[in-house]
Structure 1
Amino acid sequence: MQVAKWGNSLAVRLPASVVDALELKEGDDIEIYADRSGAFSVSKKPTVTERIERLRQYRGRLPSDFKFDRESLGDRDSR
């Protein structure tokens, strides 16, 4: 990979193999994680649609008697 000047910042040029593996296109957001040893990973940030789809995978995994009571969590009278 090559680092290049882009305005006041630096940019990393990704090789075609990485672009293909992550199915990237111009304008996509990516995340780069680095550790202290200098190793890093690049991942494509999930879109809103992809995040919603991941949440849908949890549908039906709560106990049948589970009830979320928003009123008791936000009870302003108990402050």
Structure 2
Amino acid sequence: MSNSSLKITKWGNSQGIRLPMAVMELLSLKTGDELQMTVENNSITLTPNKKRRMSIAERFANYEGPTQQEEIWSDEVVGKEVF
């Protein structure tokens, strides 16, 4: 995406900038999402503060517990089931 100019505007007692919809869509941002701001060498960098959703494989990649599976099935009534 090319560079674009943003204008600082007054918002109540604060100031703010508006992000173009193209940027919001490109970064999959929505209203209410948080951004991390870094100021360095006279530059401002905004980074989405989103935690990426991990896949099942990633979640269990370092799991070292038991892996034995067994199917548990019972036709016994345990509540107020109606058949």
TM-score under structure 1 length normalisation: 0.52
Q: Between Structure 1 and Structure 2, whose CA radius of gyration is higher?
A: 2
Deviations 1:3-55 (A, max 9, x none): 1111111111112232122111111111221212x2222211114xx37x39x
**Residue matched to 1:46:** 50
Taking every aligned residue pair, what percent have the same amino acid on both sides? 26
**Residue matched to 1:32:** 37
Distance in 2 (alpha carbons) for counterparts of 1:57 and 1:39: 35
Structure with greater helix share of residues: 1
Are residues 46 and 7 of structure 1, via their aligned partners in 2, closer, same or farther at CA, if it must alter by over 3 Å?
same
Letter matched to residue 16 of structure 1: M
TM-score under structure 2 length normalisation: 0.50
Gaps of 5+ in 1: 65-79
Gaps of 5+ in 2: 1-5, 65-83
Root mean square deviation, CA, Å: 2.7
Number of residue equivalences = 57
